[in-house]
Amino acid sequence: MSIDYVVKSAEKIKNMEVRGAGRIAKFCAKVLMEYAMEIKKNFDEEMKKAAEILLNTRPTAVSLYNSIYYVMDYSGESDEEKRESLVKRAKEFIEWVDTAQKEIGRIGSRRIKSGSTILTHCNSASALSVIKEAYRKGKDIEVFATESRPRYQGHLTAKELSAEGIPVTLIVDSAVRYFIREIDYVIVGADAITVNGSLVNKIGTSQIALIAKEARVPFMVAAETYKFSPKTLLGESIVIEERDPAEVAPEELRSLVKIRNPAFDITPRHYIDLIITEIGAIPPEMAYLVIKERLGYRLLGEDELKL
Ligand code: RUB
């Protein structure tokens, strides 16, 4: 296995064959682990190269950054010891993703009353974990899924939920305000949570939050603690990924006008009622504590890490 394997894996993240913040994070841990198992010499150097290639794929996914930093925080004297430590950390991170999403489902589903209608945006494993768990517990629920232009991740959500037997209504993104009176809760996932409790998620999320607030519909976020951004505690802001205009309009139009295609937007914390994490359902104001207590190890100086 050469570095080409890492380059090809990074390509899968860039072209969204592997997408969704949690899946991306888990995939990166797996790629680093597999690469580490094959390296014959210059372990630190090779791993650093691989980590950098993966880091430069989707800038907004903080979980990608957190996954890489978690795995790269290995120790040991010899290459063999380092490899062993890295593999152990990668497995721990993968386990963290799996258990966190289940736990979020367990905690979040308690908030859902039988007979309710939930609106979700894009395709979030964590948000869907809450919805599926509520349904599995026997609650009579219905879901409205936005199509989530331009990549239509809402179609994935609609298929995934209807495969479980949950009744789903698919709507265009601009129909949220039209239907808000029929909605009891909004539940979305997260690409990142900043130190001040703001949410970064699929473009359009902040408009939905605004509509929900106006209509007094609770707006909940399902976010594992590795979605919280330690860099924001150090004063950095989250970079919003802008994708290819070709995702939005055909060449004919692209040659006439400028097209902007931000993939994510920011929802300020006062639009968020609750963040459901694997350590509990918390108010957005607690983001600082989550970063400090759960992710503190990533506030070490960069030299102390392997990057
Ligand atoms: C996906 C998206 C999801 C979050 C959370 O965007 O915005 O809501 O990543 O998902 P994209 P999860 O399709 O551009 O990756 O809960 O699965 O991590």
Whichever domain contains 199, its CATH number is: 3.40.50.10470
Residue whose CB lies within 8 A of the most ligand 1 atoms, among 202, 225, 241, 264, for a mutation test: 202
pLDDT given for residue 304 in this prediction: 45
Q: Ligand 1: does its nearest atom lie under 6 Å from the Cβ of 191?
A: yes
| pLDDT tens, position by position, 139-152 | 999 999 999 999 99
Residue 115 and residue 82 share a domain: no
Residue 198 and residue 87 share a domain: no
Residue 161 and residue 218 share a domain: yes
| pLDDT tens, position by position, 201-243 | 999 999 999 999 999 999 999 999 999 999 898 888 999 999 9
* pLDDT (average), residues 36-41: 93
Query: What number does the ligand 1 atom closest to the CA of 223 have?
Result: 16
ipTM: 0.98
Residue 27 and residue 119 share a domain: no
Instruction: Express as a percent the part of the chain with pLDDT over 90.
Output: 91
H, E, C per residue of the chain: CCHHHHHHHHHHHHCCCCCCHHHHHHHHHHHHHHHHHHCCCCHHHHHHHHHHHHHCCCCCCHHHHHHHHHHHCCCCCCHHHHHHHHHHHHHHHHHHHHHHHHHHHHHHHCCCCCCCEEEECCCCHHHHHHHHHHHHCCCCCEEEEECCCCCCHHHHHHHHHHHCCCCEEEECHHHHHHHHHHCCEEEECCCEECCCCCEEEECCHHHHHHHHHHCCCCEEEECCHHHECHHHHCCCCCCCCECCHHHCCCHHHHCCCCCCCECEEEECHHHCCEEEECCEEECHHHHHHHHHHHCHHHHCCHHHCCC
Whichever domain contains 84, its CATH number is: 1.20.120.420
Lowest mean pLDDT among 16-30, 58-72, 167-181, 260-274: 58-72
Residue 177 and residue 112 share a domain: yes
Interval between CA 22 and ligand 1 midpoint (Å): 7
Bridge partners of 146, per DSSP, are: 171
Domain count, the chain: 2
Residue 109 and residue 57 share a domain: no
Give the length of the chain.
307
pLDDT greater than 50 at residue 12: yes
* pLDDT (average), residues 254-272: 98
Distances (CA, A) of 3 to 47, 53, 220, 236, 277: 10, 9, 40, 30, 35
pLDDT given for residue 297 in this prediction: 56
Interval between CA 151 and ligand 1 midpoint (Å): 12
* pLDDT (average), residues 267-296: 95
What band does 59 get if pLDDT is binned at 50, 70 and 90? confident
Instruction: Express as a percent the part of the chain with pLDDT over 70.
Output: 96
* pLDDT (average), residues 267-289: 97
Residue 42 and residue 119 share a domain: no
pLDDT given for residue 238 in this prediction: 93
pLDDT given for residue 295 in this prediction: 83
Residue 115 and residue 264 share a domain: yes
Domain, as residue range, for 182: 104-294
* Buried-state track 288-305, b at ≥16 Cβ within 10 A, e below 16: eebbeebbeebeeeeeeb
- Among the listed residues 99, 286, 93, the one whose alpha carbon sits nearest the alpha carbon of residue 194: 286
Residue 187 and residue 44 share a domain: no
pLDDT greater than 80 at residue 305: no
pLDDT given for residue 299 in this prediction: 54
Distance CA 201, CA 296 (A): 23
Query: What number does the ligand 1 atom closest to the CA of 61 have?
Result: 9
Q: Ligand 1: does its nearest atom lie under 6 Å from the Cβ of 224?
A: no
Interval between CA 225 and ligand 1 midpoint (Å): 15
Residue 148 and residue 253 share a domain: yes
pLDDT given for residue 72 in this prediction: 95
Q: Ligand 1: does its nearest atom lie under 6 Å from the Cβ of 105?
A: no
More confident residue, 299 or 138: 138
Residue 96 and residue 118 share a domain: no
Q: Catalytic residue positions? A: 122, 191
pLDDT greater than 70 at residue 298: no
pLDDT given for residue 236 in this prediction: 87
Residues in CB range of 277: below 8 A, 6 or more apart: 100, 104, 107, 223, 224, 225, 290
Residue 112 and residue 82 share a domain: no
Q: Ligand 1: does its nearest atom lie under 6 Å from the Cβ of 201?
A: yes
Interval between CA 57 and ligand 1 midpoint (Å): 14
| pLDDT tens, position by position, 62-115 | 999 999 999 999 999 999 999 999 999 999 999 999 999 999 999 999 999 999
Residue with the smallest CA separation from ligand 1 atom 10 is: 124
